[in-house]
């Protein structure tokens, strides 16, 4: 499983990263979360608004901070 956070490093992007890491820990999954800050790479995913959550190369959330429980549901 690959998890990526797309965003410049703004507070919302960092909050999505934190929520994702917490969700993974609660599910007992040891997966590295990569934070992509390069705008060219972010655009390659077709994301126009950040933050965005990518699971296994598929954008599942964009333009908002997902809550930990929502992320857990997506990871199951």
Catalytic residue among 10, 27, 43, 48: 10
pLDDT value at residue 76: 87
How many CA atoms does the CB half-sphere of 17 hold within 13 Å?
A: 18
13 among known catalytic residues: yes
CATH of the domain at 64: 3.40.30.10
| pLDDT per residue as tens digits for the range 42-64 | 999 999 999 999 999 999 999 99
The secondary structure of residue 2, as a DSSP letter, is -
Per the structure, the complete domain to which residue 19 belongs is given by 3-75
From CA 28, how far away is CA 67, in angstroms rounded?
18
10 among known catalytic residues: yes
pLDDT, average across residues 20-49: 95
pLDDT value at residue 60: 98
Residue 61 token pair = 């959330």
Indicate the average pLDDT of the chain.
96
- What is the DSSP code string of 3-68? EEEESSS-HHHHHHHHHHHHHHHHHT----EEEE--HHHHHHTT--SS-EEEETTEEEEESSPPPH
Number of domains in the chain: 1
Catalytic residue among 5, 13, 42, 61: 13
């Amino acid at each position: 499983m690959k998890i990526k956070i797309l965003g410049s490093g703004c507070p919302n992007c960092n909050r999505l990263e934190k929520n994702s890491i917490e969700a993974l820990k609660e599910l007992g999954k040891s997966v590295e979360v990569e934070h992509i800050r390069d705008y060219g790479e972010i655009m390659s995913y077709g994301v126009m608004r950040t933050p965005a959550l990518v699971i296994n190369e598929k954008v599942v959330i964009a333009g908002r901070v997902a809550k930990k429980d929502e992320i857990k549901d997506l990871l199951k």
